[in-house]
């Protein structure tokens, strides 16, 4: 019996419509199986998209931070999600040329920023790196944690995880007597949220944060 109500299939040979060769040549077609294969290159496209996003953030950062504050000067920044806290790191390293000592404190961080941190060290833009994170990062982002920990240890750099929620980045240019401190509400992640930052060029402010960071690293 063939019924033509909407949504009902003919009772005879109900899967003929799946057979590209015609009903006479159909052989046990299973609608839950396929010989099709997915397209290749998904990872490449995803990585390319990440690079484009990072480039856009850095372009936006370059527009905002076109110079470093003078000694004793502080910039106050409110972002609208077009860049994140870590975007300050490559930008300030670019302006300074070489950062003799970098300290970074964050509750958590994402994989791309972890890889960029290691790359900045490999390029010589960050001569030394000390990273401090929260325990959340170690326990919940285990793959990224392993990447950054193993990467820093292999390079002879320092890392510590503790009950940390401070978001501070320090940049020292010893010969130029430049001591930059970035303080803000954002982690080293890419959440598109409104965030606030201060960028200060003051040795006392730098050493205030450096002191507690060294205490924890010790």
Q: How confident is the model at residue 19 (pLDDT cuts 50, 70, 90)?
A: very low
Give per-residue pLDDT as tens, 172-201. 999 999 999 999 999 999 877 788 999 999
Give per-residue pLDDT as tens, 194-213. 889 999 999 999 999 999 99
181 half-sphere exposure, CB direction, 13 A CA radius: 20
Q: Note every long-range contact of 90-95, with CB atoms under 8 Å and residues 24 or more positions apart, other chains counting.
A: 90/58, 90/116, 90/120, 90/125, 91/58, 91/61, 91/62, 91/65, 92/65, 92/68, 92/169, 92/171, 92/180, 92/182, 93/120, 93/125, 93/126, 93/171, 94/125, 95/65, 95/67, 95/68
**b/e sequence 140-161, b meaning 16+ C-beta within 10 Å:** ebeebbeebbebbeeeebbbeb
pLDDT at 1 > cutoff 80: no
- In this prediction, residue 38 carries a pLDDT of 53
Give per-residue pLDDT as tens, 84-118. 899 999 999 999 999 999 999 999 999 999 999 99
Domains and CATH numbers, the chain: 42-217 (3.30.870.10)
What dihedral do alpha carbons 82, 86, 91, 96 form, nearest 10°?
160
Instruction: Give the distance, in angstroms, between the CA of residue 217 and the centroid of all CA atoms in the same chain.
Output: 23
pLDDT at 39 > cutoff 70: no
Beta-carbon contacts of residue 39 (< 8 Å; ≥ 6 apart)? none
């Amino acid at each position: 019996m063939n019924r033509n109500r909407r949504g009902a299939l003919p009772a005879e040979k109900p899967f003929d419509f799946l057979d590209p060769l015609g009903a006479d040549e159909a052989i046990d077609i299973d609608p839950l199986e396929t010989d099709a294969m997915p397209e290749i290159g998904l990872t490449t496209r995803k990585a390319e998209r990440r690079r484009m996003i990072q480039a856009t953030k850095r372009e936006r950062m370059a527009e905002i931070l076109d110079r470093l504050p003078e000694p004793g000067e502080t910039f106050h920044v409110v972002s609208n999600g077009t860049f994140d806290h870590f975007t300050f790191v490559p930008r300030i390293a670019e302006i300074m040329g070489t950062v003799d000592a970098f300290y970074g404190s964050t509750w958590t961080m994402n994989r791309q920023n972890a890889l960029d941190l290691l790359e900045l060290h490999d390029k010589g833009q960050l001569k030394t790196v000390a990273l401090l994170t929260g325990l959340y990062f170690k326990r919940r982002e285990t793959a990224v944690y392993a990447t950054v920990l193993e990467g820093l240890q292999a390079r002879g750099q320092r890392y510590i995880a503790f009950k940390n929620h401070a978001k501070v980045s320090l940049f020292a240019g010893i010969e130029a007597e430049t001591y930059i401190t970035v303080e803000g509400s954002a982690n080293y992640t890419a959440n598109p949220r409104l965030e606030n930052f201060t960028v200060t060029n003051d040795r006392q402010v730098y050493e205030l944060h450096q002191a507690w960071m060294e205490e924890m690293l010790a």
